[in-house]
């Protein structure tokens, strides 16, 4: 017998914040905002608009939603400040105590607690580099900064070069969730540019990013390390090897061949990386070995690892076999998509996957 407004009213009473004003458009309108910092010769302006991942959607949209954006940032002496930005554009915005606050280069979504993206000018992003390197920014803040940068590049609102330049600050990063975002952003770039003549340069860039991380983490789990470190190790080994690290490729090949000959599976923490790297360089014989392993696997997670590996071969004939195998009696209906997705992500298998769907 209660209505939504009753909930907002109670939350307002408890928090002493204008919850109703904030939530009106967030819950009744589509999308979420992009907050852009516009630098001119003498000042900064702050502007909001709806974020679109597609530049076509952005050009065609007439969406004029005005959100009340709860902006949080860290000021001098690490004091957390808050303001509600409820205009389309302003050179200043009002703080919670009625003071006029000017933007001076702070990260505007402190703690990444707000559902909005932020577009910073190049000069401000460069100011952030030292904070990322020194880890003065928290893990969520480091994650949000690179995530927004890649998203804005993808939407055409920021230069891809800015996102790649920002990555230089993340070389000493140690958190799995941040590296996962880095790998995802670079992976989307690879999908787009896989057929370009300069694609090897992008692979070299990725190798320079991931090989030092893989070498630092090593191949074996260390006593007392967090479970996320094991996940990071698996990802780093694969990314380094997939982008041409010969030492890592050689070790993965050796571990896979040992499994085939002696029946000793690679450690579970690095098994996905070993399978994927072995498949990328495999031929018909190895494809048959993966099919045999898949049929003999009893655990769902093992089938998932092996199924994903089937989509990483370079030979289009083998990729077609993988698609056909996905519809066989040996693959559970709920597992068909994981094999298909792996083939579809492979630049060599894109067209095959599309034809398969049709």
Please check the confidence at residue 41 and state whether its pLDDT lies above 70.
yes
The pTM of this model reads: 0.90
CA distance 195 to 193: 6
Phi, psi of 45 (to 5 degrees): -120, 150
CA distance 190 to 339: 20
Amino acid 34: pLDDT: 96
Residue of 104, 187, 173 whose CA lies nearest to 142: 173
Cα separations in angstroms, 252 against 27, 227, 229, 270, 297: 49, 21, 19, 9, 20
275-319: per-residue pLDDT in tens?
999 999 899 999 999 999 999 999 999 999 999 999 999 999 999
Amino acid 95: pLDDT: 54
CA distance 149 to 147: 5
Q: Which two tokens stand for residue 118?
A: 């932020």
The answer to whether 70 and 18 are in contact (CB under 8 A) is no
104-160: per-residue pLDDT in tens?
788 999 999 999 999 999 989 999 999 999 999 999 999 999 999 999 999 999 999
174-186: per-residue pLDDT in tens?
999 999 999 999 9
Amino acid 240: pLDDT: 97
Amino acid 39: pLDDT: 83
Please check the confidence at residue 321 and state whether its pLDDT lies above 70.
yes
pLDDT confidence of 250, banded at 50, 70, 90? Answer: very high
Amino acid 209: pLDDT: 95
205-215: per-residue pLDDT in tens?
999 999 999 99
Work out the mean pLDDT of the chain and round it to a whole number: 92
Amino acid 116: pLDDT: 96
Secondary structure class of 101 (helix, strand, coil)? strand
The answer to whether 340 and 356 are in contact (CB under 8 A) is yes
Amino acid 40: pLDDT: 76
**Full DSSP string of 106-162:** --SBGGG-SS-EEE--HHHHHHHHHHHHTT-S-HHHHHHHHHHHHHHHHTTSS-HHH
Q: Which two tokens stand for residue 26?
A: 């967030």
Please state, for a pLDDT cut of 70, what percent of the chain lies above it. Answer: 97
Amino acid 100: pLDDT: 60
81-100: per-residue pLDDT in tens?
888 898 898 877 655 455 56
Phi, psi of 73 (to 5 degrees): -145, 170
Phi, psi of 242 (to 5 degrees): -65, -25
* Range 192-207 average pLDDT: 94
Bridge partners (DSSP) of residue 35 are 48, 118
* Range 222-247 average pLDDT: 95
Please check the confidence at residue 272 and state whether its pLDDT lies above 90.
yes
Amino acid 28: pLDDT: 87
Strand pairing of 117-119 and 33-39?
A: parallel
Amino acid 98: pLDDT: 52
Please check the confidence at residue 357 and state whether its pLDDT lies above 60.
yes
Residue of 122, 184, 103 whose CA lies nearest to 147: 184
Amino acid 25: pLDDT: 87
Residue of 243, 321, 336, 327 whose CA lies nearest to 287: 321
């Amino acid at each position: 017998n209660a209505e939504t407004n009753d909930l907002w009213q109670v939350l307002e009473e408890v928090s002493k914040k204008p919850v109703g004003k904030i939530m009106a458009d967030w819950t009744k309108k589509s999308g979420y905002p992009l907050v852009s910092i516009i630098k001119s010769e003498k000042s900064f302006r702050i502007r909001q608009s709806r974020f679109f991942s597609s530049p076509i959607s952005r050009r065609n949209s007439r969406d004029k939603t005005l959100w009340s954006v709860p902006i949080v940032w860290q000021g001098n002496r690490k004091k957390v400040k808050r303001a509600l930005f409820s205009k389309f554009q302003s050179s200043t915005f009002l703080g919670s105590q009625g003071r006029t606050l000017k933007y001076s280069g702070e990260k505007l979504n402190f703690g990444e607690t707000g559902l909005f993206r932020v577009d910073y000018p190049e000069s401000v992003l460069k100011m952030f580099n030292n904070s990322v390197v020194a880890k003065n920014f928290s893990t969520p803040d480091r994650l949000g900064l690179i995530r927004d940068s890649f998203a804005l590049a993808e939407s055409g609102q920021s230069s891809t070069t800015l996102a790649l330049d920002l990555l230089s600050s993340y070389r000493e990063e140690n958190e799995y969730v941040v590296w996962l975002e880095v790998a995802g952003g670079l992976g989307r770039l690879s999908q787009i540019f896989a057929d370009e003549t300069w694609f090897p340069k992008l692979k070299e860039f990725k190798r320079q990013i991931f090989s030092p991380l893989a070498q630092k983490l090593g191949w074996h789990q260390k006593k007392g390390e967090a479970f996320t470190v094991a996940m990071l190790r698996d990802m780093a080994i694969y990314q380094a090897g997939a982008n041409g690290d010969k030492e890592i490729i050689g070790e993965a090949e050796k571990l896979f061949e040992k499994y085939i000959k002696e029946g000793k599976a690679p450690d579970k923490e690095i098994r996905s990386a070993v399978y994927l790297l072995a498949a990328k360089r495999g031929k018909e014989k190895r494809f048959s070995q993966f099919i045999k392993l898949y049929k003999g696997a009893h655990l769902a997670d093992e089938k998932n690892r092996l199924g994903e590996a089937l989509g990483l071969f370079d030979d289009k004939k083998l990729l077609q076999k993988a698609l056909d195998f996905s519809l066989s009696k040996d693959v559970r209906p709920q597992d068909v998509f994981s094999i298909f997705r792996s083939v579809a992500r492979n630049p060599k298998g894109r067209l095959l996957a599309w034809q398969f769907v049709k």
